[in-house]
Amino acid sequence: MSSDIYKVELINIFEGPMDLLIHLIRKNEVNIYEIPISQITDRYLEYIEWMKSMNVDIAGDFLVMAATLIQIKSRMLLPVHDDSDEKDPSLEITKPLLEYLYIKSAAGALSKREFLGEHTFIRPQVKTHSPGDPLHDHEIRVDLFELFLAFERILEKLPSDISIELSAEKTSVYDRMAEIISLLSEKKTLSFYELVCSYPVKSQIIISFLAILEIVKNNKAVLIQNTDTGIIRLFLNERDHA
């Protein structure tokens, strides 16, 4: 029973080998720039043994660190020649440790900030449209017939028989959908024409067209036509996206 309780705690305390090493360094009150490798390695191995006896599955990461420590320890036992420019082997562990400590303190600093939705709040987001956005009363949602007319016009404009397809380039409708959605997330709106004609090859135009239909069907975006200009534009459906 009691070992079960220990197990849970162990996993929570040490996220990984770095965490354990920092714990040992602090517990033994040693200077991080002068780690007594031998002492720390012993403590580390003792801990791993203890974890084993507690039936904790030891992740490979913990063993890699143990091997690194032992390797550094053995190199420190070798005599050092005065003229060699070899650095103190313990630095190999000091450097990543310092980096990890820095990240830990940065994470701590982040967690102390006013977290949106926890410490500070904003008004619930209701999407509004500013006058610059072409989403207004005088615009209507485009119907299917208009869409096909637009598609036909684009196909008519295609230079026929000029381009020769050499490779069977395979762009799936799904790839194109993902591409359009990421473009939309960035720009919020794109014209139907620029989307469909970005690759002026018949197969690509069809793929783009199908992708747009699929996106609109999945409510990821809406197609809107301006009654004055007749331009059809695709708008990201923010409510769905949020």
> Considering the complex, what minimum distance in angstroms separates the CB of residue 151 from another protein?
32
Q: Work out whether 8 is an interface residue with another protein (CB under 8 A).
A: no
- Using CB under 8 A, count the residues that bind another protein: 50
> Considering the complex, what minimum distance in angstroms separates the CB of residue 186 from another protein?
11
Roughly how many angstroms between the first and final C-alpha of the chain, as a whole number?
Answer: 46
The region of 3-11, 14-22, 155-163, 213-221 touching another protein under the rule CB under 8 A is: 14-22
Smaller CB distance to another protein: residue 117 or 159? Answer: 117
Among 126, 144, 166, 168, binds another protein (CB under 8 A): 126
Restricted to residues 25-64, the positions that interact with another protein (CB under 8 A) are: 25-26, 29-33, 59, 61
Q: How far is CA 164 from CA 159, 160, 161, 198, 205, in A?
A: 11, 10, 7, 18, 15
Q: Work out whether 175 is an interface residue with another protein (CB under 8 A).
A: no
Q: What single string gives the DSSP state of each residue in the chain?
A: -HHHHHHHHHHHH-SSHHHHHHHHHHHTT--GGG--HHHHHHHHHHHHHHHHHTTPPPPHHHHHHHHHHHHHHHHHHSPPPTT--PPPTTHHHHHHHHHHHHHHHHHHHHHTS--BTTTB--PPP-----TTSS--TTEEEPPHHHHHHHHHHHHHHSPTT-S---S-----HHHHHHHHHHHHHHHSEEEHHHHHTTS-SHHHHHHHHHHHHHHHHTTSEEEEEETTT--EEEEE-HHHH-
Tell me, residue by residue from 82 to 121, as one string, x for binding to another protein by CB under 8 A and - for no binding. -------------xx-xxxxxxxxxxxxxxxxxxxxxxxx
> Considering the complex, what minimum distance in angstroms separates the CB of residue 222 from another protein?
17
Smaller CB distance to another protein: residue 134 or 158? Answer: 134
> Considering the complex, what minimum distance in angstroms separates the CB of residue 57 from another protein?
14
Q: Work out whether 128 is an interface residue with another protein (CB under 8 A).
A: yes
In the structure encoding, which two tokens stand for residue 22, read together? Answer: 């920092």
> Considering the complex, what minimum distance in angstroms separates the CB of residue 145 from another protein?
34
Handedness of CA 141, 147, 149, 151 (dihedral sign): positive
> Considering the complex, what minimum distance in angstroms separates the CB of residue 23 from another protein?
11
Smaller CB distance to another protein: residue 61 or 143? Answer: 61
> Considering the complex, what minimum distance in angstroms separates the CB of residue 214 from another protein?
22
> In the complex, which residues of this chain contact another protein (CB under 8 A)?
15-19, 22, 25-26, 29-33, 59, 61, 65, 95-96, 98-123, 125-128, 130, 132
